[in-house]
Amino acid sequence: MLPVLIALYQRSGETELRTRVERQIEAFSGRVAQAPLAGPVFLQGLRQWMSPSPEPLQYLAEGAIRADCRIVESSETQLQVLLRLDIAPGWHIQQHDLQRPESTRLTVVNRDDWQDVELHYPTPERVGSENEGYTGRLDIDLTARERSASPLALELQVQPCNESACLPVETRTFVIHRNASTVTDLPA
């Protein structure tokens, strides 16, 4: 049951599912600790919850932002990736600005394995009276050439805001395996 709840939470970002996962872990941890061989599915789910592997589809701001990272084009040595953020109405994220720690950023974690990295952010729009940022749908394009056969590891940083407040900066990791991934069309 625990792995199923975790998978549902990862796909939907619903906070109620997160609460259910945490309650189930709390309820069964004592029993499984006494007899670990009696709860292999629970232990598998607990490992998945404690150290999740990066998925191409992730959520931020308790489900208000959907992040989908896909290969758009792939050649022998070059990779083009699209990170699409769908931001719920009433929410926005900060613009891309390397001078501000709360700005939206996509970085290559394993930069030594990739070269000629090019990132393209769209032009930000006015949000509120003084700030610029992104609302609705945001596509960040990345093109890179590989130096080694390592997967492309990306880190996304955003600060989600709504009309009343800005949440703390959130970070998500995406790992693109060029041999295991195929070119995927994102929904329009």
Q: Are 140 and 170 in contact (CB under 8 A)?
A: no
CA distances to 23, 41, 44, 59, 119 from 38, in Å: 19, 9, 12, 33, 49
d(CA 12, CA 58): 9
Phi–psi pair at 142, nearest 5 degrees: -135, 130
Q: For residue 182, what pLDDT is reported?
A: 43
pTM for the complete prediction?
0.72
Give the model's pLDDT for residue 53.
Answer: 60
Give the model's pLDDT for residue 188: 58
Going residue by residue through the chain, which has 188 residues, state the pLDDT in tens, using 9 for 90 and above.
888 887 777 666 677 887 888 888 888 888 888 888 878 888 888 877 776 567 788 899 989 999 999 999 888 888 899 999 999 999 999 998 888 888 999 999 888 889 899 999 999 999 877 788 999 999 999 999 988 777 888 999 999 999 889 999 999 988 887 654 444 455 55
Structure confidence at residue 123 (pLDDT): 93
